[in-house]
Amino acid sequence: MAKKLPTQLIVGLGILVIGGGIVGGEYLLVKWYPRHAYAVREATLRPEPFRNDGLGIEMQVAAGFLGKEESFAGGVRIYRPKFWSAPPSIKITSQSNPDQTAEFSAQILAKWQTQGVTDDLPRYHFDHLRLNDRDAVMIWQYKNREMTLLARIITPDRIVEVECTPGGADEDLYMQGCSESLHTIKVAGPESPPPPVADVTEMTPAKPAGRKR
């Protein structure tokens, strides 16, 4: 008959295996994972130059979006293919500016600013800013079950629209990549005039009334 292993030996081996698993898991959690996460973040956000003379733009694109490039009439789509989910992507379109204005009108800005409320759009945020001396807006919103960041830039020659989405990838990481990439956009063409300076009336404090004697 085969001899059975002593119960104490079996328990000891079990404790050794469990203890080794705990130590290994702690190492992965404390030592390896933070370094891995940092390396992934740096590789994803690393800026890479991108230029398209046909669209009149150049920018620094976060490396996590680079992989394939598809051109279509009036635009281009940059994306990194994913096997099981929607890929992170940046879509750029450019069209002529028939009005040849260097700034968006107050009416269209007001429409975009309030669209989140009027159309009940989730996680909607609007920002009016200048990107490399061009009048621009940025709009964050949740649509088609994913976050998107949309930038619109106007110049006297053209209006450029850039839509960036993380797809099924890490939302926080890739939305940061969207923001960093879109903030670098430069649009070719004549310089836009500086924004008008608001008329500020200087208020002089009134002098205190003298005491009556």
Question: From first to last of its 213 residues, what are the pLDDT tens digits of the chain?
Answer: 455 556 665 555 556 556 555 555 555 555 656 787 888 899 999 999 999 999 999 999 999 999 999 999 999 999 999 878 899 999 999 999 999 999 999 999 999 999 999 999 999 999 999 999 999 999 999 988 899 999 999 999 999 999 999 999 999 999 999 999 999 999 998 788 777 665 544 455 555 555 554
76 and 99 housed in the same domain: yes
Structurally, how many domains does the chain consist of? 2
Domain assignment of residue 1, yes or no:
no
22 and 127 housed in the same domain: no
Domain of 24 in residue numbering reads as: 12-45
Domain assignment of residue 17, yes or no:
yes
31 and 100 housed in the same domain: no
Quote the CA–CA distance of 95 and 79 in Å, as a whole number.
Answer: 22
123 and 171 housed in the same domain: yes
User: What's the pLDDT score for residue 177?
Assistant: 97
User: What's the pLDDT score for residue 92?
Assistant: 97
Q: Kindly state the tokens that stand for 62.
A: 């976060």
61 and 115 housed in the same domain: yes
Quote the CA–CA distance of 168 and 79 in Å, as a whole number.
Answer: 12
Dihedrals phi, psi of 139, to nearest 5 degrees: -130, 120
156 and 132 housed in the same domain: yes
Strand partners, 139: 126, 150
User: What's the pLDDT score for residue 115?
Assistant: 94
Q: Kindly state the tokens that stand for 27.
A: 């190492």
